[in-house]
Structure 1
Amino acid sequence: MSLSTNADEHQVREFTCGCCAAPAQRTWNFVLRDGSPHAVYFANSYNHGGQGHETWIDVILGSWGGENHSDHVTFGCRVGAVEDSPAPAATAVQACLDGSAGPLHGRTLSREEALAHPWITDFWAVVDHVLEHDPVVHPHLYG
């Protein structure tokens, strides 16, 4: 399985963090698997006023190419500092914690639902791809 994104489709929006009023960035794009639409991700990167870098990622998996989103499911994770680790770590969380859920997201999964879902491996593969290749997320978390 080969994942890719199209740099021409990558979107970024600046916003203000609701909890600390620090600048933040939201980035999103389609993810292709072997050249075909596979997922959409939304990643919110925060600095929390100098208190630490973290990114919250929602990944929508399902079929693409039409207006029917009935098979879509959205997974969520937080990537950031964790105790006793020099590198950021990813943890599954409730999807769309920022209140962004809409029809495109389909069913938003809780942490427990995500960990038991048959598409969890696809979700983590997309997260790994975002962490390695997104031009906002990668430098935000890894410098």
Structure 2
Amino acid sequence: MIKIEFEEPQIEKCDCCGQEIFRLTRFVYQDNDAFGVYYINFTRGHSPKVAYGLVGLGEWGDGSEPNDRIAFPFKIWTNESHYQVGLVDADESPWSHVTFLGQILNREEGLKHDWIKDVFHVTDHIVADDKIVVDFFTEHDE
């Protein structure tokens, strides 16, 4: 069973339009053990409506290091009735320079990785349980 710990969002203003930019950090637990961390970034009022994310999986205990983890960059968008989630290349990620979550894989590497099912399990929970992300996709832009 996955449980997500929700940190308060960081909210900034977009330089180009003044809309709110949301930056989220979430901690993921599986069976009460640290399982992963994910970041989400989106801007209200931008088109197309898309959220970029990075999920890091691997070892999180005392003494663990970024080399003990792998990070998968992704984006979320919607069609008329469903969420869509796809891996992206590392250079498309707002966190391409971040090392804390582990080595960032490119799309093709990520799709072949043994942990890809875990990545999509986490993203399934994001679009079901992360209220700020769900609200972003369901709110009507003004």
Q: 1:105 aligns with which of 75, 84, 101?
A: 101
Which position in structure 2 is the counterpart of 1:94?
Answer: 89
Q: Distance in 2 between matches of 1:111 and 1:19?
A: 29
Equivalent position to 1:33, from 27, 30, 34? 30
Match of 2:43 in 1: 46
Match of 1:5 in 2: 4
Offset of 1:18 from its aligned partner? 6.0
- On the 8 A contact 2:27/2:36 being kept in 1, the answer is yes
Counterpart AA for 2:41: N
Q: Give the C-alpha shift of residue 65 in structure 1.
A: 1.7
Measure how far apart 1:80 and its partner are.
1.1
Query: CA contact under 8 A between 1:57 and 1:127: conserved in structure 2?
Result: no
Secondary structure of 1:104 counterpart = coil
1:16 to partner: Cα distance: 3.4
Percent identical: 26
SS of the equivalent of 2:65 reads coil
Which structure 1 residue ranges, 4+ long, deviate > 6 Å from structure 2? none
- SS of equivalent residue, structure 2 residue 124: helix
Structure 1 spans left out of the alignment, 5+ residues: none
Map 1:1-143 → 2, pairs under 5 A: 2-7=1-6, 10-17=7-14, 22-49=19-46, 51-66=47-62, 67-82=64-79, 85-95=80-90, 97-99=93-95, 101-143=97-139
Question: What letter is aligned with 2:134?
Answer: H
Query: Which residue identity does 1:53 align to in structure 2?
Result: K
CA distance in 1 between counterparts of 2:49 and 2:39 reads 17
Q: Distance in 2 between matches of 1:58 and 1:41?
A: 5
Unaligned segments of structure 2, at least 5 residues? none
Root-mean-square deviation (CA, aligned residues, Å) is 2.1
SS at match of 2:81: coil
The answer to whether the 8 Å contact 2:96/2:104 transfers is: no
Equivalent pairs counted in the alignment come to 137
